[in-house]
């Protein structure tokens, strides 16, 4: 996904939900691209200078990794 496309996807999430969901572990943000959710990394500077509200959660990759670790 190119940078401009990521920005448009993040802007769409803000318009739809009023906030951006960020994984508390890997710090990727959830975006909607072609109707499908995906998690993308953003630059720290971009997150710092946004006026968006962030809601923390966990992305599917981190969730699976934590579940695997807890089963060991």
> Between these two residues, 22 and 1, which has the higher pLDDT value?
22
Q: Which of 1-5, 27-31, 46-50 has the lowest mean pLDDT?
A: 1-5
| Domain boundaries, given as residue ranges, for the chain | 3-71
Is the Cβ–Cβ distance between 15 and 2 less than 8 Å? no
pLDDT tens column, 22-43: 899 998 888 877 778 888 887 7
**Exposed, middle or buried by CB within 10 Å (0-12, 13-18, 19+), for 29?**
buried
Q: Is pTM, for the whole model, over 0.85?
A: no
Residues 6+ apart with CB under 8 A from 19: 13, 52, 53, 54, 55
SS3 at position 36: strand
**Two tokens, residue 65:** 């990794």
């Amino acid at each position: 996904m190119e940078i401009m496309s990521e920005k448009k996807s993040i802007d769409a999430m803000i318009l739809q939900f009023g906030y951006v969901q960020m994984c508390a572990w890997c710090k990727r943000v959830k975006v909607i691209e072609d109707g499908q959710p995906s998690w993308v990394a953003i630059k720290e500077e971009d997150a710092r200078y946004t006026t968006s509200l962030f809601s923390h959660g966990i992305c599917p990759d981190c969730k699976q990794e934590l579940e695997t670790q807890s089963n060991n």
